[in-house]
């Protein structure tokens, strides 16, 4: 019999792969987040990934689509809410002024939060609108 952790790992892996195969670096521990986010130079995008339907149908496809824009983040990272709990909690410490939200996108510059695109902006929009929110942020903060 497969353990719950092994089962969840199998179920979640394609959700991780959708981002990592497109260049996102997973931050899976609090230590990785601490070493990375405050020291990231330039424009950084952090995807707070999630197992929910709006992450699968909207957030991940929209963020991947946004990387086709002429202005792109210098760094692209992801943490997985509900899976890599300590990493996600640590990342959220850098999203000062924003409530925890997943899925969501944090736009940072030189280690400081500039803006967040939160779940309520994702779940009530279509893919193109979400991608436009991201590319507008890239253009604004680059």
In angstroms, the CA 50 to CA 70 distance is 27
pLDDT value at position 96?
Answer: 96
pLDDT value at position 2?
Answer: 78
Catalytic residue among 52, 67, 89, 127: 52
Q: Indicate the fold that domain 2-139 takes in CATH.
A: Glutaredoxin (3.40.30)
CB-based contacts of 3-8 (< 8 A; 24+ apart in sequence) = 8/83
Domain boundaries, given as residue ranges, for the chain: 2-139
Q: How would you write the pLDDT of the chain (142 residues) with one tens digit per residue?
A: 778 888 888 889 999 999 999 999 999 999 999 999 999 999 999 999 999 888 989 999 999 999 999 999 999 999 999 999 999 999 999 999 999 999 999 999 999 999 999 999 999 899 999 999 999 999 999 9
User: Is there a catalytic annotation at residue 34?
Assistant: no
Per the CB < 8 A criterion, the answer to whether 116 and 104 are in contact is yes
User: Is there a catalytic annotation at residue 46?
Assistant: no
Catalytic residue among 19, 54, 117, 137: 54
pLDDT value at position 58?
Answer: 95
């Amino acid at each position: 019999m497969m353990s719950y952790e092994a089962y969840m790992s199998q179920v979640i892996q394609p959700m991780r792969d959708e981002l990592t195969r497109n260049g996102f670096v997973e931050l899976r521990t609090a230590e990785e987040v601490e070493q990375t986010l405050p020291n990231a130079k330039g424009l950084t995008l952090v995807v707070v990934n999630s197992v929910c339907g709006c992450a699968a149908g909207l957030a991940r496809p929209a963020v991947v689509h946004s990387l086709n824009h002429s202005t792109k983040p210098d760094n692209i990272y992801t943490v997985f809410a509900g899976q890599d709990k300590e990493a996600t909690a640590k990342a959220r410490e850098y999203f000062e002024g924003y409530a925890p939200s997943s899925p969501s996108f944090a736009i940072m510059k030189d280690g400081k939060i500039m803006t967040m695109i939160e779940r309520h902006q994702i779940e009530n929009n279509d893919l193109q609108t979400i991608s436009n929110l991201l590319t507008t942020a890239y253009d604004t903060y680059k």
